[in-house]
């Protein structure tokens, strides 16, 4: 299965999990595919629905993809930009921070792409004043010719997907986005993993998690929600409380943040659903039952999926 990788990276990107997520999507989507937490857009770009509403509170993600949609940003423009800026990064000490400051002042989507691909671990993180504050990845030759070609091809692929479908990119919160859905639509939610990630544009807490659960509980259509289940250190306690009435699927996923073996981890990913997915009904278990029988034993590294960002 060919996976289309978006040009924007982030921690927690679902690239390696896309085939699994696609397994549980209804065979036919009669309405609109709706994502209240678009993020990088990797799931929608691989599901490739005919019609989609992709929303996020991060205006820079929305601006970037809207400019691709309207051909303000295209592969040729990206190639020319990254060649020029990559040379400066290689030859001017501290140039990454010049671009980061320029982005924080003027919010140019191409500068957003630059600092996203040259920043540490592909993080998307902002301070309370809305300023991007991710440090440099410490690779002055980051934009080598082969790497630029890779990014340009990603932009080309995603632009073709967007322009051949009816996609709406909109900046708004998840409450507003879910309110737009009707019974024929499918909602896919990838909210920040509660108690794990801190780089979401507006943060995420227990009140947000409860509010999301309430809105999805009232939705008469089908929804799928990504979250984490457990790792070798702890469990996601919210699965036993907030989400306990829904169906749950799990999959072991291997990821690493940085080059050290100590930073390489195995985690049990979870999908929460309010319906029985096609093909894999026999794999559905109730949340509480799974936790009662859970003995988490990571498998060998060879059998786990690997995701490297930086």
Q: Print pLDDT tens along the chain (310 aa).
A: 799 999 999 987 899 999 999 999 998 899 999 999 999 999 999 999 999 999 999 999 999 999 999 999 999 999 999 999 999 999 999 999 999 999 999 999 999 999 999 999 888 999 988 999 999 999 999 999 999 999 999 999 999 999 999 999 999 999 999 999 999 999 999 999 887 655 555 678 999 999 999 999 999 999 999 999 998 888 999 999 999 999 999 998 766 544 444 555 688 999 999 998 876 554 544 544 554 444 333 333 333 333 333 4
Rounded (10°) angle between helices 109-118 and 95-106? 140
Q: What's CA 268's distance to the chain center, in Å?
A: 17
User: 42 and 15 in contact (C-beta within 8 Å)?
Assistant: yes
260-267 — which CB contacts under 8 Å span 24+ positions? 264/301, 265/231, 266/231, 266/232, 266/298, 266/299, 266/304, 267/228, 267/229, 267/230, 267/231
Tokens matching residue 168:
């709406």
β-bridge mates for residue 223, sequence order: 187
CB atoms within 10 A of CB 113: 23
So where are the chain's domains? Answer: 15-57+172-303, 72-157
Paired sense of beta strands 186-189 and 222-231, if any: parallel
Please determine whether the domains at 15-57+172-303 and 72-157 fall in the same fold group of CATH. no
CATH topology of domain 15-57+172-303: Rossmann fold (3.40.50)
CB-based contacts of 207: which residues, under 8 Å, 6+ apart?
A: none
User: 63 and 113 in contact (C-beta within 8 Å)?
Assistant: no
CA distance 212 to 121: 28
Q: Which CATH number fits domain 72-157: 1.10.940.10, 3.20.20.140, 1.10.260.40, 1.10.1020.10?
A: 1.10.1020.10
């Amino acid at each position: 299965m060919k996976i289309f990788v978006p040009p924007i990276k982030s921690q927690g990107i679902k690239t390696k999990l896309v085939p699994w997520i696609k397994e549980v999507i209804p065979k036919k989507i009669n309405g609109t595919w709706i994502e209240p937490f678009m993020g990088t857009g990797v799931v929608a770009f691989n599901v490739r629905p005919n019609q989609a509403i992709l929303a996020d509170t991060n205006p820079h993600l929305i601006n970037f993809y809207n400019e691709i949609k309207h051909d303000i940003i295209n592969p040729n423009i990206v190639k020319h930009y990254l060649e020029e800026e990559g040379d400066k990064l290689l030859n001017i000490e501290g140039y990454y921070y010049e671009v980061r400051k320029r982005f924080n002042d003027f919010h140019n989507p191409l500068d957003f792409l630059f600092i996203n691909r040259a920043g540490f671990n592909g993080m998307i993180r902002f301070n309370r004043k809305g300023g991007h504050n991710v440090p440099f990845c410490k690779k002055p030759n980051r934009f080598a010719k082969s790497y630029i070609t890779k990014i340009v091809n990603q932009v080309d692929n995603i632009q073709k997907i967007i322009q051949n479908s009816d996609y709406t990119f909109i900046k708004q919160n998840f409450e507003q986005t879910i309110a737009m859905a009707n019974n024929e639509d499918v909602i896919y939610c990838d909210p920040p993993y509660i108690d794990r990630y801190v780089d979401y544009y507006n943060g995420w807490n227990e009140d947000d998690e409860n509010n999301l659960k309430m809105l999805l509980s009232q939705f008469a259509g089908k929804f799928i929600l990504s979250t984490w289940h457990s790792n070798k250190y702890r469990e996601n306690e919210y699965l036993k409380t907030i989400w306990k009435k829904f169906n749950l699927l799990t999959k072991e996923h291997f990821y690493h943040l940085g080059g050290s073996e100590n930073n390489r981890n195995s985690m049990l990913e979870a999908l929460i659903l309010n319906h029985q997915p096609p093909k894999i009904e026999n794999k559905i278990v109730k949340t509480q039952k799974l936790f009662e029988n859970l003995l988490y034993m990571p498998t060998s590294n060879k059998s786990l999926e690997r995701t490297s960002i930086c």
